[in-house]
Structure 1
Amino acid sequence: MVNLVSLHDSYDPFKLTFTMEFCTKCQTIISKLFIKSRYHRLELQSHDQPSRQLVQHLQLGRDYREVYSIDEGCKLCTFIKRGLPDEAVARRVSESWRHSRAVSLRATGGNALCHASDDGGLQIFEIKVSIWTVELIPSAEFYFDFSVTAAKGSSAATAGDVFGTNPLLQLPVSDILAKLTGWFNECASYHDKCRRHTDTGITEATKPELPTRVLDIRSSQDDAVIHLRAPHGLRANYAALSHCWGPPAKQPLCTTKVTLDQHLAGIQVSHLPKTFQDAVSIARAVNLQYLWIDSLCIIQDDPEDWNKEAPCMGQLYSHAKLVIAASGANDSSEGCFLPRLAPEPSIDIPYMKEDSNRHGHVQLNMRRSMVTSQDGTPVMPIYEPLGGRGWVLQEWALARRLVHFTTRGMMWSCRALDNWAMCEDGHVVAGTTARDWDDVIEAYSLRKLTYLSDKLAAVEGIARKMQHRRQGQYISGLWTGEMPQQLFWVARMTTRPRELQRFPSWSWASTQGPCVMLVPKRIRWDKITIRSTVEAKDSSTLMIQCQAGKHAIGKDSLTLREATQLPPFVEFVGANTIPNLWILLIGGLAHRLLDPETQKTVGLAVLDDNEDSKDDDTLCTSLLLMEEISDTYTQGRLPIFLALLVREAGAPVHTYQRIGVAFIVDEKVFETQNEKKFTLI
């Protein structure tokens, strides 16, 4: 007779399910995933910055073949295989390596935003599958990752072992606002970097002075009405909206000379476009009384008011307690709470504690790469509709706290997270790219402006904030104390439209299109010798003293990839600009720089205006700014002369205008040339 008591005592439904769903290897991985003693570098960073210091490596196989022969009946194996590239790709990557590689699962934790790590939890938020070398350097071609999330109130979340929470999907707006309020209060309470204005010394206690006009969204007992106010020096916290205006047919509600008195008397919330209505709800949810929206707080048909307010834009966004970015909306009619895209694939796995018992489950959410979603679109705010607008770079870069509303959910950014943005599941992705002025130029020149005349006005606030750590005076988008390197910006498929002719030709602001900075961003100082002196006479005129040569620009336009593989440039195959040009300037064109008498190729020319090479007059002057020492594989150390290409302006007399840059590889070009002075406008 079977002993029913013994049989009943040995029966464990959790263990049985666990065994049936997962293979032996995956059972081992799951049982070790939340064991704290297995993690390396357990010390945590401060609350003021994201941390990824908790790391555990678990081997999936000795090479890629073991991974591709995983157990099809195992829930986790099958899920991992969904994220793997084609087996041929893995074979090619593996066979190109000289040493044996292991395929590893790496669990990563830390403190992305929350201070809850004080309770000793692991704070796991990411699992990455990758092929690792002996030196633990991952292959960028062969990896994917999961976010690890737990339901609110679950054992894993309560214990502090999982930081991320499950995506909200199509839940009520109240749930989205509740999550945002938690992030906001967390940051306002614990992030010292975000609680103070480092540029002004204003603290949370003193509060900033309100802008010239602001929307009062709580003064009325009737929540259906808000008022435009002129606070006249009142100090209070406020939110600011960052949004797309959209095409003329979708322009938002504006304050004009005619409607100013009406808006001061009161605005029905129902009369606001959807994005503005949502911004009011968001600001109220975080208990802010005031909200700044550009179209309503600046008198749109008053040039004098615009000229007064535009220079204050940077300070305005910097001082806001929260910047609300309607990043996923194309215009003000779409709102902040957008329909969300379908979530990435996910599975549940058991949450196993050190007692070896199962305590509910956690969710693994597929992320085929850090930045790309299931539909192939990068999961970064800069790739949302709002991210491509010119003024937005400044609005995001200077914000203390910033929340993005996108079709992929909310993303939180603050000064504690530096330039990163945290998704709802705890993953951190690139937020904004304005760490340094060179980054500003490159990121900003990619963006669109409705009015090209705003070219420099839209980054003036960033320039003011960076002034204390830059050299010299800021003029026309460049810093006088960092010449000539600031002059050597390189254009990629740019033009010089009429609207930008108000800016000097030597400024990147005179072109429309992407620009790249080389020194010292991409060429180290120890590789550079300065061969010129530059003096600013005024905000539009430079005096350059240097050696110069006469050259012709070849008519043939080559892609940079073609050009850098032709002689004599193919000889420069080491760590220098020549072989890297086509990567830095993808899609760009180059022209041969020629000796005008012998027609010998002496260098490469990259022009600021793509239409310029079609002119009959191809003669130009090259001004030697710097010399790069190149270490080549075949011929040792060779010089590359970095020069400006200029032409005579005609008026005023004896002045020159920039037309591009040159990479000159003929050492004889400047050998017999004496230094001269050139006036550049």
Structure 2
Amino acid sequence: MTSHVEEEILRLKRKLVRDDAQGHSCEQCRHITLKLIPLPATGLKREREHSFRLDTTVAEVRDLAASGCNLWAMIRDKLALLELEEKVQGERGNVKFDSTKYERWWSDAHYKDLAASVGGDVEREFWHLRKSPVFWGFSAGAGYEMDFSVTQEEFVRVIIRYSSLNGFKGSSVSAEVVLIVPARPVSKVLSPDRGDSGIQMAKHWTSLWALSSPGDLANSTRACVGSPINLNPGSSASITLYRHWLQKCETCHSCGINDLPRSMPSLALDVAATNSVRLIQVPTAMKERYVALSYCWGTDVQTTMLTQGIKNDLFSGISLERLDPTIRDSVTVTRELGFRLLWIDALCIFQDDEESKRRELGIMGKIYQNATFTIVVSAANNVKDGFLHRRRSTLDRVGFVDGHPQPIFKFRAESSGGGKEKPVILRPHSLDKIEPWYERAWTLQEMLFSRRRLQFRDSQTTWLCHCIEPPAQECDGWLAGTDHNYTGYSDSYFEATMTMMRSANNSANVDEALSNWYDLVEVYSSRKLRYFDDRLPAISGIAREFASILQDGYICGLWKADLAIGLVWFPIQPRHPVSGVKSGPSWSWASYEGQATWWTHKCRKWRPNQDFEILNDVTELRSSSSPFGEVKKAELRVSGLLLPTLMPVREEYNNIHIYLEGARAAVVLEYPDDPRVQPDSGRKLSLLVLVNLDWVGVEGIVLLEEEEDRYSRVGWFDVEDVWPVTKWVKMRDRTPKSQEELQERLRSLWGGKQNIRQFTLI
């Protein structure tokens, strides 16, 4: 049974991607054949055997490109850019580097002035080539790529091969186009290993995804090659493929896909009828498998949502035409896969009853957790987009960028099936974009709680089952596997957190759980919200799970037993203000309109400062039924080392430092444009020490007194080294200090014990 299901899945995938197997191919590049994909851990020496190599010249490259071949045009443009870069960089004697004007050497702003100094056709062509959509990496030496000395300045070695960066294991492989050319400026060097001299060589390379029909280039045990796109995710063949994915879970994984849910949502949509849906009140004793939907609402109001005014229509049944495209498509998928019940937040939560809405939002985690699977619509910006329509082909996505064609090449490649050659398509990494669903704050907990996901992406549909280890995964085409090319958006990034949350006994090491929480908030706080007062509610389901794991009190996104460390979050990536009031007090990351992180917990040992103590906390919730949701007011009564200081002057690059006796505090303000923290504001800042970093440094928060004895947070500070050093001494050669010695030093820097004060954080 198992082999039959897997064979049928492979047959369907091959059929579905057939229409997209297109790419550039011409007489100039048709003779290129990619070697067989190496086995895992092949090694650099063996890698040579798997490479296509061609030694040529700049003039020959230009001739090949003149025929209209995209591959050689891409290489020609890179060589031309290297020549122009040398000319432009030669102007650095005429354009003085200004550190207040340029962020760094060879930045765009720096290059702008250098190129302008040259002017004319060189400047225009330089910027035209710099805007190429192809990203090239660079290495100052050619390394093992050259086995003889080069004496000709026009020499070019072209190498095309699979990339070994992922070890040729589970994730999709790339192919590299590598150029070995003389380093600029051209110089002679001695090659000690060969005992001769030649030109210093440099390496430039660009990576492209390798796509082929499923199973053609790798055997069935290695899903390391991506596939072209399934252009019709709503076709009958696609639906049949999705059914087989569910069937494989049922017959191969013993993951419990047929188990009844432990609990049911209060309301659900009955989608059994062909042209309509009906909202039902789920009986208390009812246990029936259901599907949940996770999607982006968008900025517009949905056509139909559950309100008191329309509830009777929904309970009686409404036609599909009254629903938005994403909702209609989710109904189709649910029904076609043999399910009757579908849960959608906009239609199963009263949108005009705030108390009921808060209550239902508080249990959304359980709703997704108990669904048999979740339909995830990750590519759609809003509910009007839908997801079963025809996808754009790979060629349609390429187009032109600033006058440059995005390269997509079709070569021949050796197959693992008896030495036969099969077509392989190389396409740019740049087409792999972050999809809207991955940028929304609400969808993070929907991702973490969903045990299985049928996900409709921009270029593929995937199936993920997290009910077994490792997770079972399937896709209908494009890149294999679950990972994206961007950190913080792949399932593997959250693997430790998801495993911990799905543990049957919710047991976890406290330090590990707290570290997972801080990593989670770092990702979550970078995501978008339409209403800022959703900042705490949109993570409340996850917080409820962590409260059970940690057995600790929760206060505005932080944990009471770890408040000293929780308070020392670091502000990064501020955003423009959004609608709604702030969802927490100034000392909570939830109040910050941007991304927050805990800077040093990942690399250095830290502990609460001995003089810092939480004396009392007062929290007023927006709703007593949502203990992890919105708060009206939250205050902390604390005691700690508090140093008042004059408002510092901004330094070069807008840096801020506060100078202590023999030490320096680096300050980062949450909102540098805040009128209250300007040098001419007449206000004072205060530094509150929160944590010690080993025996050498401290971190804390920057406060502003709003009224007597009541302070709001405005920033973060770090003292990297509290001990005066008269000359450079390596850290490992210094005599470590005790925590008592560190504390005495801090008290001295902070003005003595009299600056251990009690006050309120608001």
What is aligned with 2:355? 304
- Are the equivalent residues in 2 in contact too, given 1:553–1:591 (CA < 8 A)? no
Does residue 752 of structure 2 align to residue 673 of structure 1? yes
What is aligned with 2:568? 488
What is aligned with 2:269? 215
Helix, strand or coil for the counterpart of 1:175? helix
Q: CA deviation at 1:298?
A: 1.0
- 1:261-272 to structure 2, matched below 5 A, reads 261-272=312-323
What is aligned with 2:378? 327
1:550 to 632, 644, 647: 644
Q: CA deviation at 1:410?
A: 2.6
Q: CA deviation at 1:316?
A: 1.2
- Are the equivalent residues in 1 in contact too, given 2:232–2:238 (CA < 8 A)? no
Separation (CA, whole Å) in 2 of partners of 1:408 and 1:266 = 34
The alignment's C-alpha RMSD in Å is 4.4
Q: CA deviation at 1:665?
A: 5.4
Separation (CA, whole Å) in 2 of partners of 1:82 and 1:466 = 54
Does residue 207 of structure 2 align to residue 144 of structure 1? yes
Separation (CA, whole Å) in 2 of partners of 1:271 and 1:592 = 59
- Are the equivalent residues in 2 in contact too, given 1:338–1:405 (CA < 8 A)? no
Does residue 128 of structure 2 align to residue 128 of structure 1? no
Separation (CA, whole Å) in 2 of partners of 1:326 and 1:126 = 26
- Are the equivalent residues in 2 in contact too, given 1:61–1:67 (CA < 8 A)? no
Distance change (3 Å), C-alpha of 1:70 and 1:315: farther
Deviations 1:179-235 (A, max 9, x none): 33343443454456xx36xxxxxx7424332210000112x4xx1122111112311
What is aligned with 1:364? 424
Letter in 2 for 1:213: L
Q: CA deviation at 1:324?
A: 1.7
Separation (CA, whole Å) in 2 of partners of 1:518 and 1:491 = 9
- Are the equivalent residues in 1 in contact too, given 2:615–2:639 (CA < 8 A)? no
Separation (CA, whole Å) in 2 of partners of 1:187 and 1:56 = 38
Distance change (3 Å), C-alpha of 1:552 and 1:665: farther
- Are the equivalent residues in 2 in contact too, given 1:240–1:292 (CA < 8 A)? yes
Helix, strand or coil for the counterpart of 1:616? coil
- Are the equivalent residues in 2 in contact too, given 1:491–1:516 (CA < 8 A)? yes
Q: CA deviation at 1:275?
A: 1.0
Letter in 1 for 2:358: N
Separation (CA, whole Å) in 1 of partners of 2:613 and 2:46 = 53
What is aligned with 2:275? 224
Separation (CA, whole Å) in 1 of partners of 2:63 and 2:248 = 43
Separation (CA, whole Å) in 2 of partners of 1:82 and 1:310 = 55
- Are the equivalent residues in 2 in contact too, given 1:275–1:333 (CA < 8 A)? yes
Does residue 446 of structure 2 align to residue 384 of structure 1? no
Helix, strand or coil for the counterpart of 2:561? helix
Does residue 702 of structure 2 align to residue 623 of structure 1? no
Distance change (3 Å), C-alpha of 1:189 and 1:543: farther
1:511 to 592, 595, 620: 592
Separation (CA, whole Å) in 1 of partners of 2:349 and 2:278 = 14
Q: CA deviation at 1:263?
A: 0.9
Distance change (3 Å), C-alpha of 1:480 and 1:187: farther
- 1:313-462 to structure 2, matched below 5 A, reads 313-343=364-394, 345-347=408-410, 349=412, 352-353=415-416, 355-356=418-419, 358=420, 362-369=422-429, 372-373=430-431, 378-379=432-433, 383-415=434-466, 424-428=477-481, 429-430=483-484, 431-432=489-490, 434=494, 435=497, 436-462=516-542
Separation (CA, whole Å) in 2 of partners of 1:463 and 1:420 = 27
Unaligned runs of 5+ in 1: 1-19, 43-52, 113-124, 134-138, 197-202, 564-589, 630-637
- Identity score, percent: 20
Letter in 2 for 1:509: A
Helix, strand or coil for the counterpart of 2:327? helix
What is aligned with 2:24? none
TM-score normalized by the length of structure 1:
0.69
Helix, strand or coil for the counterpart of 1:57? helix
Distance change (3 Å), C-alpha of 1:622 and 1:159: closer
Helix, strand or coil for the counterpart of 2:394? coil
Separation (CA, whole Å) in 2 of partners of 1:318 and 1:306 = 19
Helix, strand or coil for the counterpart of 2:614? strand
Deviations 1:536-578 (A, max 9, x none): 73343334443231222324376xxx35xxxxxxxxxxxxxxx
What is aligned with 1:613? 677
Helix, strand or coil for the counterpart of 1:644? strand
Separation (CA, whole Å) in 2 of partners of 1:225 and 1:97 = 66
Does residue 140 of structure 2 align to residue 96 of structure 1? yes
2:698 to 641, 644, 656: 641
Letter in 2 for 1:242: S
Q: CA deviation at 1:474?
A: 2.2
Q: CA deviation at 1:386?
A: 3.2
- Are the equivalent residues in 2 in contact too, given 1:550–1:621 (CA < 8 A)? yes
Separation (CA, whole Å) in 1 of partners of 2:391 and 2:474 = 18
Helix, strand or coil for the counterpart of 1:554? coil
Letter in 2 for 1:519: T
What is aligned with 2:556? 476
Q: CA deviation at 1:496?
A: 8.0
Q: CA deviation at 1:297?
A: 0.6
Helix, strand or coil for the counterpart of 2:752? coil
Helix, strand or coil for the counterpart of 2:47? strand
Say how many residue pairs are matched.
556
Separation (CA, whole Å) in 2 of partners of 1:189 and 1:72 = 58
What is aligned with 1:537? 616
Separation (CA, whole Å) in 1 of partners of 2:564 and 2:520 = 18
Helix, strand or coil for the counterpart of 1:556? coil
Helix, strand or coil for the counterpart of 1:284? helix
Deviations 1:378-424 (A, max 9, x none): 43xxx223333221222122222223334333344443677999672
1:86 to 61, 78, 85: 78
- Are the equivalent residues in 1 in contact too, given 2:292–2:371 (CA < 8 A)? yes
Q: CA deviation at 1:613?
A: 2.1
- Are the equivalent residues in 1 in contact too, given 2:229–2:460 (CA < 8 A)? yes
Does residue 242 of structure 2 align to residue 242 of structure 1? no
Distance change (3 Å), C-alpha of 1:280 and 1:141: farther
2:665 to 587, 598, 603: 603
Separation (CA, whole Å) in 1 of partners of 2:530 and 2:326 = 20
Distance change (3 Å), C-alpha of 1:456 and 1:189: farther
What is aligned with 1:11? none
- Are the equivalent residues in 1 in contact too, given 2:646–2:685 (CA < 8 A)? yes
What is aligned with 2:105? none
Separation (CA, whole Å) in 1 of partners of 2:177 and 2:564 = 43
Letter in 1 for 2:426: M
More deviation, 289-298/313-322: 313-322
Letter in 2 for 1:244: C
Deviations 1:21-59 (A, max 9, x none): 9899x65x53x44xxxx62469xxxxxxxxxx9x98345
Helix, strand or coil for the counterpart of 2:361? helix
What is aligned with 1:176? 238
Q: CA deviation at 1:619?
A: 0.6
Distance change (3 Å), C-alpha of 1:150 and 1:515: same
Separation (CA, whole Å) in 1 of partners of 2:244 and 2:711 = 58
Q: CA deviation at 1:660?
A: 1.1
Letter in 2 for 1:349: R
Of structures 1 and 2, the one scoring higher in RCO (CA 8 A, sep 6+) is 2
Deviations 1:310-360 (A, max 9, x none): 10111112222222222222322221124533405242525545644x3xx
Separation (CA, whole Å) in 1 of partners of 2:648 and 2:472 = 42
Separation (CA, whole Å) in 2 of partners of 1:496 and 1:417 = 41
